[in-house]
Every structure is written in C-alpha cells, then in structure tokens.
Amino acid sequence: MKKNSTQILCAGLAVLAMNAQAAYVDITVNDGSFAATGKADTTYGSGDPRGISESGETEHNTVTGHEWDLRAFAYDSATSHLMVVSGFNPLTDLPGTGVNNPMTGNNRIFLGDIFIDTNNAFTLPAHGSNTYIAYPNSAVGFEYAINLTDPVGGLNFGYDVVQLGSTSTFQSGGYAQNAHSDPANLLTVGNGNVVSSGLFSVTTKTDAQVLTDLGINVGTNGGTNYVFTFDLSAASLASGATFRLTETCGNDLLVGQLAASPVVAVPETSTWVMGFLALGAVGFMIRRSGKTAA
C-alpha cells in the first residue's frame, strides 16, 4: 500500500518530535553556600548567565580557576542519564594544599563521588578542622551514590551505582572552610548494595560547544569543559531527587534537582540534523508523488 503525502509528512514530524524529546535538561541549582555560611561565593570570569551562581564560581575562601569549577548537572528523563559539565578533569588529580588525602596517601585532590537524596532528608555533620573525617550514612541520609571506581589516570572511568544503607560510610572534604561541600567520597558500601555498574568516556567541549551541542549555557569563562554521563536507570528516582558533587578538597560544590529545570531542554545538534533530513525526505516524496500524479 502506497502512503500519501499527508501520511509521509506526519511520519516525518513524528520522527522529529520523538528525537526532540530525547534531550538533557539543565537541573543545576544554587548550592546555597551563602545561606549556609553567611559568606559570598568566590566568583571570577563573566558569571553564570543562568542566574543561579554556579558557572564561573567556586566556594568562599577557596582557590579560584576554571579547573576547580563544577559547572552543571543535566538529566535526560527519556534515558535516565545524569550528565556533569565540569572544569575539573575527572581522569586526573591536582596538587593539594597541605592535607594528605587518606584515599590516596598523598597531598592530591580528585573528583568526589555523586550522592543522591531521593526524599530531601540530607543533613550535614559538623566539620570544623582541616582534616578528613569519616561518618556513617545514618548521620547524613542519602539513598544512592555514584561511586567512581577509577577516577584517576585512565582514558575511561568505571562507576558503581550503590544503594546505600545506614552503615555506608563517607569521607568529608579535607578543609574546614569548605565543610558545606561534604561529603566527598563513599568509603564503604556498608549494608547497601551495588545495583549497577558502568563505564563512560569523558568528552571535552568549549563553552560554545556546550551551548550548541547540549543546549546548556555555561557562559564564556573559557577553559576546557569535561562532559561525562551516568546511567541511573537502576535507581528509583522521582521528581525532587537531588544530586551533590564536590572535589575531595571541597573547592566547589555542584547541586542538581530533578524538580528544578531552569533551562528548557534543547535537542543536540545531531537530533536537529536528523529531523531536518527526515523533513527533507518528506518534501522529496511529496514532490515525487505530485509528478507521478501529473
């Protein structure tokens, strides 16, 4: 059975609409450090064009620079993938400022794990010294963690999605002035369990490419953006779930929330290309159909 031009046009538009739905939405929110500490964040560059004070920003009393700036969380509800846009390269580590990291045994800083609060019951243990401390999840209240299993020194990195229990333990950031950026790492699974594992590559993009390819406007502060994603389809996430990420020094804190969508989803460039190709094919078929009828 031959399709008429109306059927072909509807099919092409359906393809475009279907692809347009599969897009990341910026879920970044202000980390609230000013409200928590009474001190303004350290800013540099042109600031955050989204008005949420996260791009081009590190926490107060910290080292500034793009390499410390955690920039954006984005989420694709169609695939349950979480994306991170970061100035900190998760495959490397950076020199610290005098406090030895117990996870590495040396004075080096690397990207922390991502902690997920599904019911907004997160609390922050007291932390008042320039040292790393450990505490149980019963004192914090997270439901999941994305544990980076090889965060330093590879071309790819592995991760586990861990469903946490009350005896799962965390390590704080190492500096008292950055205590509001806790926790930094998952130390032990405790009575939790690993629900899935994965491996993702890190891609690099300029600020302009982040906007063009991902639809996320992180401004024009410059520097390399490192983009990486995690599959969270094995986790039970609902509207309102929050994500927290920091470096092990606590120089910056990135917070995302599924209920917060300050930036409208914009399909990737490849999605638009596929859509326009589909519509082009529709136009060709309509024209051909018209000639045949003539």
Exposed / middle / buried, residue 254 (Cβ in 10 Å: 0-12, 13-18, 19+): buried
Which residues fall within 8 angstroms of residue 103, CB to CB, at 6 or more apart?
171, 185, 248
For residue 19, the model assigns a pLDDT of 45
- Report the distance separating Cα 110 and Cα 135, nearest Å: 20
For residue 152, the model assigns a pLDDT of 60
For the chain, the domains span 1-22+267-294, 24-264
Phi, psi of 9 (to 5 degrees): -60, -45
pLDDT along the chain (294 residues), means of 10: 48 44 84 64 74 84 85 95 95 80 80 92 79 88 92 72 96 77 89 94 94 93 92 92 91 87 50 50 51 47
For residue 63, the model assigns a pLDDT of 79
Token pair belonging to 178: 């950055």
For the stretch 10-42, pLDDT in tens is 444 444 444 444 589 999 998 876 655 556 667
Structural element, H or E, at residue 229: strand 225-231
For residue 13, the model assigns a pLDDT of 46
